[in-house]
Structure 1
């Protein structure tokens, strides 16, 4: 009975809890558009494949506040992206730059495809005569002998 009362009490209390929603006041509509675009482009470091606009992680809240602060200070899109990359690394942006480190992410898949195609082209065709096993050859010889015996027996009966 105590468990049921505790559960009911927890349900009643939990319905009164509401998530806080961040409301940002912008001076211009362009700042609002930039904010929405930037928060959609920046990845949450904690959520892996979720942008900071959709993430409820604490770090995403902090990043949204920082983006808001940078935009209201007059920074443009590229400056905000550069700041976030400097602070959180290239991973934070969904469009990583091509560098000596990341070039392998672009080259490796094509290299594997080219190598696989080259192997398929260079592969020797299968020789059907060589693919017959020794046991199959023995069975073929036995069949020929049986056919010869059967023909001899038929000739004998005539």
Structure 2
């Protein structure tokens, strides 16, 4: 059995390694390009790519470690002379169409594009169905002879007293 003091030392060493090693890599990967035009192009592309951790943010906005890595990757690819389409194709091949905020319209992404409209049409159809199913609001009908007898009998049993 490992002594608790050894476990604490191992955890502390692991935490220090993560903090020192992870932080240094993240800072190096997020260095802007020296050419302002290329950096502007990189930032525009980063705004089109979804963070796979945050999912509601682009990698340009996200502070997640993978977003930092993807920003570094995009800058490296742009510096190497790759086109925006080549970089997008690489990211889609690695992470799927979900990584793009505007996925291409194709069979696999049909639900992403048409799903919101289908939900809207379905909701509208449900409202129409529900409204047609309701009984029409009208004036109450008069009591027939048998219902009048039952009411009179109930009143006579109660001797006219209020309940």
Tell me, yes or no, whether TM beats 0.5: yes
Consecutive unaligned residues of structure 2, counting only runs of 5 or more, are 1-7
Query: Residue 109 of structure 1 aligns to a residue in which SS?
Result: helix
Alignment partner of 1:75 out of 74, 82, 107: 82
1:120 equivalent to 2:134? Answer: no
Inter-CA distance 41–139: structure 2 relative to 1 (3 Å threshold): farther
Corresponding residue to 2:64 among 56, 59, 67 = 56
Specify whether residues 35 and 137 from structure 1 end up closer, same or farther in structure 2 by C-alpha distance, changes over 3 A only.
farther
Cα distance between partner residues in 1 of 2:40 and 2:149: 81
Q: Please report the RMSD computed on the Cα atoms of aligned residues, expressed in angstroms.
A: 4.0
Per-residue displacement from partner, 1:18-52 (whole Å, max 9, x unpaired)? 74423535252121112222223212223333332
Answer yes or no: is 1:26 the counterpart of 2:33. Answer: yes
By how many angstroms is 1:126 displaced?
A: 4.1
Counterparts in 2 of 1:139 and 1:25: CA distance versus 1, 3 Å: same
Partner of 1:41: 48
CA contact (8 A) 2:49 2:101 kept: yes
Q: Indicate the SS of the match to 1:85.
A: helix
Aligned residues: 138
Mapped to 1, the partners of 2:38 and 2:99 lie a distance apart of: 21
Structure 1: gaps of 5 or more residues: 1-5, 151-158
Question: Quick check: 1:107 aligned with 2:97?
Answer: no
| Secondary structure of 1:48's aligned partner | coil
Partner Cα distance (1:99, 1:141) in 2: 72
Instruction: Tell me the CA shift for residue 140 of structure 1.
Output: 4.1
Q: Is 1:43–1:91's contact at 8 Å kept on the other side of the alignment?
A: yes
User: Is residue 141 of structure 1 aligned with residue 149 of structure 2?
Assistant: no
